[in-house]
């Protein structure tokens, strides 16, 4: 069976304009747009296949045909015929929202209709301008009420842990970790197949 599965399936990226995005992705992929492109979704089961016998079809459509030989038995048993990963590039010209992702159990209980599970992610910093930082967790233990009040009045930034980053850093962000990418970064992100994001604070951007 393995010899029937293409060794390599090239996917067409999905480009996502974001208010915090920069110009690097548009320039590197030759996009004719003035919009700030914040994300390029490179590996996602809704991406279309670029070439070969499955060209033009969404990866999700052919995964049942490719079966366990492509996905692996453990993946099929846990997720069915769905790609469990989402791989993207992020280009940040401004701060991303202060956010947190749920775990699988919370997503199943409260977000089942969305079709997403929880989200663990990891960042590989490909480029970092001098002084680049990320938000990772809080400085000290806080109560739910204190965090809620700080998010509402904008003082939440005083509670958060700002971490300097540089090219080559790898940062794992488990579900439940408050986080945000700062300006001046090009990041390679590997995460669970989920876009569930709870924003705690977004600098007045709405």
Q: Cα 67 from chain centroid?
A: 25
Q: Which of 28, 57, 199, 205 is catalytic?
A: 199
* 179 neighbors 120 (Cβ within 8 angstroms): no
Question: How many Cα neighbours within 13 Å face the side chain of 187?
Answer: 30
Distance CA 77, CA 57 (A): 24
**In the annotation, is 18 catalytic?**
no
CB 128 within 8 A of CB 184: yes
What distance in Å separates the CA atoms of residue 30 and residue 99, rounded to the nearest whole number? 30
Q: What is the dihedral of CA 179, 91, 187, 151, to 10 degrees?
A: 0
Active site positions, annotated: 199
């Amino acid at each position: 069976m393995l010899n029937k599965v293409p060794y390599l399936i090239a996917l067409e990226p999905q480009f996502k304009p974001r208010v915090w995005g920069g110009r690097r992705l548009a320039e590197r992929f030759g996009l004719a747009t003035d919009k700030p492109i914040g994300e390029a979704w490179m590996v996602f089961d809704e991406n279309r296949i670029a070439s070969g016998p499955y060209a033009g079809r969404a990866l999700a459509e052919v995964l049942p045909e490719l079966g366990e030989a492509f996905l692996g038995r453990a993946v099929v048993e846990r997720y069915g015929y769905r790609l469990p990963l989402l791989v993207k590039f992020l280009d940040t010209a401004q701060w991303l929202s202060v956010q947190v992702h749920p775990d699988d159990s919370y997503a199943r209980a409260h977000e089942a209709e969305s079709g997403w599970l929880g989200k663990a992610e990891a960042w590989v910093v490909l480029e970092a301008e001098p002084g680049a930082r990320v938000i990772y967790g809080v400085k000290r233990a806080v109560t739910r009420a204190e965090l809620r009040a700080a998010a509402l009045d904008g003082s939440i930034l005083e509670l958060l842990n700002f971490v300097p980053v540089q090219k080559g850093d790898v940062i794992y962000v488990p579900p439940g970790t408050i986080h945000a990418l700062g300006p001046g970064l090009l990041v390679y992100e590997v995460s669970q197949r989920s876009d569930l994001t709870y924003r705690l604070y977004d600098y007045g951007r709405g």
